[in-house]
Amino acid sequence: MTYVANASNFRLALLNTFADPNWEWKEVSKVEDVCLTYRGYIKFLETDLADVYPLREGRTKSKYKRGVEYIAKHMMARGNAFATAVRQRYKDHVRLSIHQSTGATKIPISLLPTETTFTTPWHCSVAYKVDGTVVSGMRADFDNDATYELVTENGIPSYYREKSPLFSWDLAQGAVSFEPIYPCGWMVRPAGGPEPLSTLSINDVDAKKVRSLAEVNSPVVLRGFFESPKKEAFIEKAKEVGEPQPWSFGLLLEVKDRGSDSRGLNNTLSAELMPFHYDGLFKTAKRVDDNGEEILASLPPKFQFFAGVTPSPPDSGYTLFSSSTAVFKHIPKWMTVEDLSSKTWTAATPCFGSAVLRGLPLVVPHPTTGRPCLRYHEPWPQSKTKFDPTRVSIDHEDEATSQAICEAINSTLRDRRVAYYHAWKEGDLLLSDNTLALHTRSAFLSGSDRELWRIHLD
């Protein structure tokens, strides 16, 4: 209330102290940075003032437009005074701005992970698509769009969500909620009360719908359905999700720190940091290619299904997931999906029978959606592990170019706009599409009580 009552005085003091007496709109409007901000002001003022100054007799569209422009120019004058004040007070600082900018005097940032024009939360509503894409716009537009529905939290409107039958489970008792995870994935919980009081269990999980949801936005985390993990129940639910794919260790792998006992799985059963990868790269079989030659073929599963037996150690032991949907939005501008799709790579390791795999496609179409997906294993030299290294190179590129491509991909995979850090709670169930999302693990203190169960599925 104090600010509102004195806002005019504050503005006047700002202008009297820091305004440039030579500031002229005709001159400053020639500056690209100024024009970018001005156009942003015009856009939101036209919307914000539509109800305050509605069109009527004596106020035509052209008069309304001129009025908006007049207000925007005065805002620009105050903005110039404010910029001067900031420069004088914070000489050794970098100024951030929510407005578009060339970066000459300030660095533009977006407060919302959206590619639509509305980027400030107080000027728009937010909507989530099934694949995790965030869009923003006016509430009235979403209300009038039959493809979206309003989601409330504790009875209060929160955001919009793309309509999908995947968000509706046919349950005899109880209900479930679906919360978008930033920057990728969905969190599914029993609705209507604290998790320990829920009457829903792993038996109530709609395996087919969870699988379909994971194919477009992974991972799907199921929390509050499996409070007392039991292997038999986990295996049975896995069979509902897909066809189990056993490996050398059997069907279910207990993922926990076993020190130097790798059991033929390299650093999977350790406390080490792991490279970004997809599972099953080195699960191989001999095949005959189109030329009639025998080759070593990789046979990765379609999904990983996890159960959290214990919580993550404090601030460590995360499992990271990076979806190709987000990866391709944030790769460097000198890389394109089309360019990456034309490349192949080679992976080699002393582990898994000294496997060498050549001609692996770097981008593959998703088997269900057809969308491009990154198929990659982060290079992992001996300097990063006490176990066996994994050598990765881009085919038909010199060493410097291959390294540059790999480093760009590695950096993007760990970008916080891309990577979701999952901290495990006891009883968490998690399904991830092995084609759509790559994953890794952060390091944790050796000997910590961290255990996951994992089953591969087709």
Rounded average pLDDT per 10-residue block, the chain, 458 residues = 87 92 88 89 86 84 91 91 92 89 88 83 93 94 97 94 96 87 97 66 96 99 94 97 90 87 74 94 80 82 98 94 97 96 94 83 98 98 92 97 98 98 97 99 92 97
Give the whole-angstrom CA distance, residue 3 versus residue 10: 8
Q: Which domains does the chain have, with CATH numbers?
A: 3-108 (no CATH), 110-163 (3.30.60.140), 216-457 (3.60.130.10)
Tokens linked to 153: 């939290």
Question: pLDDT tens digit string along 182-208?
Answer: 999 999 999 865 555 568 999 999 999
Chain CA centroid to CA 438, Å: 12
The pLDDT value recorded for residue 133 is 95
pLDDT computed for residue 98 by the predictor: 86
Q: What is the pLDDT of residue 267?
A: 76
Q: How many CB atoms lie within 10 A of CB 396?
A: 11
Write 360-364 long-range contacts (CB < 8 A, 24+): 360/298, 362/394, 363/337, 364/435
pLDDT at 44: 84
pLDDT at residue 193 in the model: 55
Distance from C-alpha of 79 to C-alpha of 94, rounded to nearest angstrom = 16
CB 22 within 8 A of CB 89: no
Residue 225 CB neighbour total at 10 angstroms: 21
Full 3-state SS string of the chain: CHHHHHHHHHHHHHHHHHCCCCCCHHHHCCCHHHHHHHHHHHHHHHHHCCCCCCCECCECHHHHHHHHHHHHHHHHHHHHHHHHHHHHHCCCCCCEECCCCCCCCCEECCCCCECCCCCCHHHCEEEECCCCCEEEECHHHHHCCCCEEEEEECCEEEEEEECCHHHCCCCCCCCEEEEECCCCCEEEEECCCCHHHCCCCHHHCCHHHHHHHHHHCCCEEECCCCCCCCHHHHHHHHHHHCCECCECCECEEEEECCCCCCCCCCCCCCCCCCCCECCCCCCEEEEECCCCCEEEEECCCCEEEEEECCCCCCCCCCEEEEEHHHHHHHCCCCCCHHHHHCCEEEEECCHHHHCEEEEEECEEECCCCCCEEECCCCCECHHHCCCCCEEEEECCCCHHHHHHHHHHHHHHHCCCCCEEEECCCCCCEEEEECCCEEEEECCCCCCCCCEEEEEEEC
- pTM confidence score: 0.89
Contact 402, 394 (CB under 8 A): yes
pLDDT tens digits along 332-362: 999 999 999 999 999 998 877 678 899 999 9
Q: What is the pLDDT of residue 199?
A: 82
